[in-house]
Amino acid sequence: MALGVSKLPMNMIMKVLLLIFLSYSVAYSSSAFESTMHTNNWAVLVCTSRFWFNYRHMANTLSLYRTVKRLGIPDERIILMLADDMACNARNKYPAQVFNNENHILNLYGDNVEVDYRGYEVTVENFLRVLTGRHETSVPRSKRLLSDEGSHILLYMTGHGGDEFLKFQDSEELQSHDLADAVKQMKEKRRFKELLIMVDTCQASTLFSQLHSPGVLAIGSSMKGENSYSHHLDSDVGVSVVDRFTFYTLAFFERLNMYDNASLSRMDIYQRYLKEVPVTNFFGSVMKTIHTDSAYRSRSNKKIEEAKSNMSLDESISDSDSDDEDQFNNLTAEKYLWYSVGPLWSAILSNANTSESIDTLVCYGLLLMLPLLIFSTWLSK
């Protein structure tokens, strides 16, 4: 025997409708998040090594800093973390200068470098706070990663590492599960649309073993059991000045056509077709601008006053007549709307005396909201 809808308990009907409404809302919000436009770029560049013999790690980071700035990412969207200050080291033959090549043509430290975290500020805790946005109230905006769901973020790290860890200042370590947990939190908090992680260290790829968040690309200078080597030695400075991986990355970007596409082949957690992704998706910058007519056809206050003073008396009279007519039409429309809707609203209020009537009214309201929500979603697309 079939059970009619009218005989079902009103509470059960309301619960079913509420579940349908909530499930549709969640599905719509997730699809809207996936279709978010790329609106801005950020870069987090981290040198985790101290001491003079790690000169090349600071040069690596400053080289990437110069590259992303040249390609359009401004300083206010770059978080630069340097664990030591090689430019002012007493052993430096070239004070206040850092080079990544033995020809000493390009000074990496002389082009308005803005360091956000330096020295003992570069810790695992501060690094994770930058990624997740969990700062104390005293931290200024310039030291925060203020990204959103439309951001493409480049995360570059260099230093000494091993199997699933990266050393910070030779005193603590960032584990692979720490990085994966931070990236997961970033994704849940909608702090990025796409994330590219680059690591130049020994056994770099092992740092990505715990990553499972969608929209993440990762590239390392070495596989498990492999070392990351320096490129060349500067006899004047007395140490190696750049690593191989970073050196050839910089050489690639120096001859780069900004609109070339990537040619990577692994697509485990990156849904987009890589041949359609510009290489500068993370290294360049995009600015979302909205043009308005007022920006092109503006008139000064003086001209506006002159135009008003030159208006004829007849035009003023006709304008006042039209204003009176508009007011009369508005009053007529409001009165017609009240006469047509007023009796219906009064009938609804008079019938809503019992709890059953109120439940019925709520049920009908939910039924009416569903097609309206679906229709508005279709219009927004």
What DSSP letter does each residue of 299-334 carry, written as one string?
--HHHHHHHHHT--HHHHHHHHHHHHHHHHHHHHHH
Q: Give the pair of three-digit tokens for residue 113.
A: 């470098």
Residue 295 has pLDDT above 70, yes or no: no
Place of tokens 């706070």: 129
| pLDDT tens-digit series, residues 226-285 | 999 999 999 899 999 999 999 998 888 877 666 666 555 455 656 666 666 666 666 666
Cα 159 vs. chain centroid, distance in angstroms?
26
Intra-chain end-to-end CA distance of the chain, in Å: 43
Taking residues 37-55, report their average pLDDT.
94
Describe the strand order of the beta sheet including 165-168 as a list of residue ranges.
Answer: 161-162, 165-168, 172-175
How do beta strands 117-118 and 165-168 pair?
Answer: unpaired
pLDDT-derived band at 370, boundaries 50, 70, 90: confident
The more confident residue out of 320 and 363 is 363
Question: Distance between CA atoms of 262 and 273, rounded to whole angstroms?
Answer: 10
| Residue 37: per-residue pLDDT | 85
In a domain, 221, yes or no: yes
Cβ atoms of 282 and 272 closer than 8 Å: no
pLDDT-derived band at 93, boundaries 50, 70, 90: very high
Catalytic residue among 47, 57, 152, 202: 202
Q: Nearest 5°: phi and psi at 140?
A: -70, 165
Strand partners, 173: 167
Place of tokens 């104390």: 136
CB atoms within 10 A of CB 164: 20
In a domain, 54, yes or no: yes
| Residue 32: per-residue pLDDT | 46
In a domain, 111, yes or no: yes
Q: Nearest 5°: phi and psi at 217?
A: -110, 145
Q: Is 133 exposed, middle or buried (0-12, 13-18, 19+ CB in 10 A)?
A: middle
Cβ atoms of 289 and 202 closer than 8 Å: no
| Residue 285: per-residue pLDDT | 62
In a domain, 10, yes or no: no
| Residue 372: per-residue pLDDT | 74
Least confident span in 67-81, 191-205, 291-305, 366-380: 291-305
* Owning domain of residue 170: 38-281
pTM: 0.64
CB atoms within 10 A of CB 172: 13
| Residue 230: per-residue pLDDT | 93
Task: Give the chain's mean pLDDT.
Answer: 78
Taking residues 160-189, report their average pLDDT.
95
Using DSSP's 3-state secondary structure scheme, residue 361 falls into: helix
In a domain, 294, yes or no: no
- The CATH number of residue 265's host domain is 3.40.50.1460
In a domain, 50, yes or no: yes
Catalytic residue among 104, 160, 231, 363: 160
In a domain, 309, yes or no: no
Cβ atoms of 123 and 270 closer than 8 Å: no
The number of folded domains in the chain is 1
Q: From residue 62, give the alpha-carbon distance in Å to each of 49, 68, 100, 139, 297.
A: 13, 10, 9, 23, 45
In a domain, 88, yes or no: yes
Using DSSP's 3-state secondary structure scheme, residue 232 falls into: strand
Instruction: Clarify whether 160 is annotated catalytic.
Output: yes
DSSP state of 296: T
